[in-house]
Structure 1
Amino acid sequence: MSITVQVQYAIARIGIPLQVDFQRWVEAVLVNQSKEGEVTIRVVDEAEVAKLNWRYRCKQGATNVLSFPFEVPAPLPFKISLLGDLVICAPVVAREAREQAKEEKAHWAHLVVHGVLHLLGFDHQQEKEAQQMEAMEIIILRSLGYPNPYESA
């Protein structure tokens, strides 16, 4: 099984998880789903994520993570293993971790797992979908040694 994670740092790397952490978190999701492929993670500031949030979701302000699943433009005669891109806003992650009294690295892991599940087509628009996605996140995060992100500290 081949899983490739590319990480782009558009801000200073201070306090940002290492490439090896991102790789481990993405692999945990894909292995559980029997999937392989390539994911790019871009770590950004609030200004960049706010622009993307407005452009692609018509929502104002910065958000923690955006997922952009790869869409094949036309049928191709060969297989493409690109799953898509995640954009994660480091200042929002840090702020949310503080506000929710969570360990920051655990919150990073949760957002990566959450984002990769979106790349695989999971969603949380309906209550049943949200319950299924949250249950998967909890199981994957537990396998990585992190607590349930939906329980209060």
Structure 2
Amino acid sequence: MSPGPSGAPAVSLALALEAGAWGDPDHIEALALTALEAAAKDLVEREGQPFPVEPPEVSLVLADDAMMAEINAQWRAQSKPTNVLSFPAFPLVPGGQPGPMLGDIILARQTIEREAGELDIPVDDHITHLVVHGFLHLFGYDHIENDDAEKMEAIETRILTSLNLSDPYGDTEPV
């Protein structure tokens, strides 16, 4: 396992600005790398998640609501935008050994901005949360069943707390 700058497992990030007014891509990349590093560190240290020796790659696609609605319709039969979608490169269960490519995380700018306004939080904080959320999906975590949702939300909260960000669910206790 190759450590990143903070001693966390390294994660390689491929950023693609596909649609939307995202501003400075270097800023978004820095936010995402910080989120990915914190999430990887937490998964290794707290969940016993193995990592490959070579840094696995995550593709982060920056989209707008129109693009996200198309992707959501194609893959989830929901003709509306959503804030984040994740597509693992290979099926993985929590604790399973990932390959060299973890998968894709897609973010929708307008939805993220609207939700951040509704939540009264900085857009950067919401982006960070959604990158962490998407990253956990790449490792097989989900929120379909209540028990799984509670586990995933608790891990997210713990990771975000390590980044000095508030609990996005309002009352989740980190595990």
- Taking structure 2 as the reference length, the TM-score comes to 0.78
In the other structure, the counterpart of 1:14 is 23
Unaligned runs of at least 5 residues, structure 1: 73-78
Q: Work out the CA distance in 2 between the residues paired with 1:94 and 1:15.
A: 15
Aligned length: 146
Q: Work out the CA distance in 2 between the residues paired with 1:125 and 1:137.
A: 15
Q: Work out the CA distance in 2 between the residues paired with 1:51 and 1:82.
A: 24
Q: Work out the CA distance in 2 between the residues paired with 1:52 and 1:105.
A: 23
Q: Which amino acid aligns with 1:20?
A: A
Indicate the SS of the match to 1:141.
helix
Q: Work out the CA distance in 1 between the residues paired with 2:151 and 2:116.
A: 23
In the other structure, the counterpart of 1:114 is 133
In the other structure, the counterpart of 2:165 is 146
Q: Work out the CA distance in 2 between the residues paired with 1:57 and 1:108.
A: 22
**In the alignment, is residue 32 of structure 1 matched against residue 59 of structure 2?**
no
**In the alignment, is residue 42 of structure 1 matched against residue 50 of structure 2?**
no
Alignment of 1:88-107 (within 5 A): 88-107=107-126
Alignment of 1:117-136 (within 5 A): 117-136=136-155
Indicate the SS of the match to 2:164.
coil
Alignment of 1:51-62 (within 5 A): 51-62=70-81
Contact residue 16 and residue 60 of structure 2 kept, 8 A:
yes
Q: CA deviation at 1:80?
A: 4.1
More moved, 141-150 vs 32-41: 32-41
**Cα RMSD, aligned residues only:** 1.9
Q: Work out the CA distance in 2 between the residues paired with 1:18 and 1:65.
A: 15
Deviation digits for residues 50-93 of structure 1 (CA, Å, limit 9, x no counterpart): 01001001111100000000028xxxxxx941000011001100
- Taking structure 1 as the reference length, the TM-score comes to 0.88
Contact residue 39 and residue 132 of structure 2 kept, 8 A:
yes
Q: CA deviation at 1:106?
A: 1.0
Unaligned runs of at least 5 residues, structure 2: 3-9, 45-50, 92-97
More moved, 81-90 vs 17-26: 17-26
Q: CA deviation at 1:151?
A: 1.6
